[in-house]
Amino acid sequence: MRRAFFEMEITHKQDEILSSEVQNLAISGGLGGGKTATVALYLMLKMAQQPGCRMALAAQRLQQLIEADLYMLQERLRGYGIRQHYDANKHILRISNGSQVLLQSFENPSGIVKGPEYDEILFDEHDVIKDRRAYDNFINRARGKLGSCQVRTFGNSVPQSHFVAQDYKINKLPNHQLILVSTYDNRRFLPPGYIERLEARYPKGSLGYRRWLLGEVGLPLDGAVFSEFQLDRDQFDVGKLEEEDSQRAQRYYALFLHDGRPTTLIGALLLQNGKLLVDTELYLPSAAPSKIAREVQRITGDTPILSDANNPLYEEFADKLDLVPAHDLPPETATKSLRERLAQDALVLAARGDKLLTPTLAGEFEQHIYAANGDPEPRNNEGLTALQHITLEIERPQEPPEFGHLGELLAR
């Protein structure tokens, strides 16, 4: 059996992945790069060569696990004559030597926080896994009893704010390695014309080509409004901020009112060097008005809070908080103010060590796309709108003082 495994027909990249002993390995691949097939190969080898091992495979969707991962794994096992049994109620596949693999869907995260321990944990389609807490909780079930290897995560390209890009590239953690698998690496196993069709859709050199054929991570999305935003460049460790400078800096807060509730508070410091350091984010999408007002005031204290005076909820919360009207300008003007700051390296997001203090805001930068008609098409913009209130307030032209009569003017 072991000899048969060594005679498997695999790609060079698959060989690199299967042979790696790095503790945490992320595989980002282009479309058709053979990621799911590699997941099945990895599981089969571990289960067959380590009798009694307990593996876990997680994905966002149960359909992905059943119709792609499980199907491919069972086909591999049958090909080598390995007896197997799948318990559909518990979603556990067992083979004849006592090894097993649990299939865990994030659509139903119950059981992720508590549960049995596993020798290794694999993730497929990590690009559609959004719940970082559930992901981390599941990783904590890995014990690495088979050696140093504990986590293997597979998926397509992810943007800058995604935890895979953060942990494996932008703020790389110890014992973490990223392997890029291009569509071309799997060429001999792809149907004729597959790569050519992708190249027609994503021309060489475009962001789409780099994401969907080369598998690069941490890139802005194709057609991104804020394509100037680069998270690895546009963040600042607040531990480096001198206390004296922070005391002299001008503090701003802005609140976004939405769907009957203010959902996002953004706070920023205008530093002496002209940079705007965004260091506060409070996201409360469904709390009661009284709790929201209490939480916001706990952070802002006596500092005035910019908000949209045209919003129907403005007056309601103006009684509870020290709200002041935000500068009212067209959205394209506010967008321009952010883009110019990004281009001039005058806007940075606060981080403390490896932890970004405004993760929701960072994700919103990447979700603004230009629509077919050329207009920005925001998907989530609560934090960005609040930030734009702040940038427009900073750039607001100073109005000349009003004087009651000529004598008062001359006296000044």
| Gyration radius from the chain CA atoms | 26
User: Under a CB-based contact definition with an 8 Å cutoff, are residues 163 and 135 in contact?
Assistant: yes
pLDDT of residue 399: 56
4-8, 126-130, 333-337: least confidently modelled range: 4-8
Question: Which run of H or E residues covers position 57?
Answer: strand 54-59
Across 4-13, 34-43, 77-86, 313-322, least confident range: 4-13
Round to whole Å and give the CA distance between 307 and 311: 8
Q: Which stretches of 328-381 are DSSP H helices?
A: 331-343, 359-366
Going 365 to 366 to 367 to 369, the CA torsion angle's sign is: positive
Place of tokens 């491919």: 72
User: What is the pLDDT, as a whole number, of residue 313?
Assistant: 84
Distance between CA atoms of residues 378 and 400, nearest Å:
36
- Residue range 28-86, pLDDT digits in tens: 999 999 999 999 999 999 999 889 999 999 999 988 999 999 999 999 999 888 999 99
Count H helices and E strands in the chain, helices first: 16, 18
Residue 147 has a pLDDT of 64
Q: pLDDT digits over 166-209, tens only?
A: 899 988 889 999 999 999 999 988 999 999 999 998 899 888 89
Count CB neighbours of 255 within 10 A: 29
CATH topology of domain 235-395: Nucleotidyltransferase; domain 5 (3.30.420)
CA–CA gap between residue 350 and residue 261 (Å, rounded): 26
Q: How confident is the model at residue 311 (pLDDT cuts 50, 70, 90)?
A: confident
* Backbone torsions φ then ψ of 230, nearest 5 degrees: -130, 105
- Of the candidates 381, 130, 93, which has an alpha carbon nearest to the alpha carbon of residue 263? 381
Do residues 105 and 60 make contact, with C-beta atoms less than 8 angstroms apart? yes
Which token pair is 295? 């939480």
The region of weakest confidence among 22-26, 87-91, 241-245 is 241-245
Q: Does residue 294 have a pLDDT over 60?
A: yes
pLDDT tens by residue, 373-401: 666 676 678 899 999 999 999 887 655 55
Which two structure tokens, joined as six digits, stand for 73?
């794994």
Contact call for residues 138 and 58 (beta carbons, < 8 A):
yes
Helix (H, G, I), strand (E, B) or coil at 105: strand
CATH topology of domain 2-212: Rossmann fold (3.40.50)
Percent of the chain at pLDDT above 90? Answer: 42
Say yes or no to pLDDT of 306 above 90.
yes
Minimal CA–CA distance to 28: which of 228, 210, 189?
210
Determine the pLDDT at residue 403.
Answer: 52
Return the domain boundaries, the chain.
2-212, 235-395
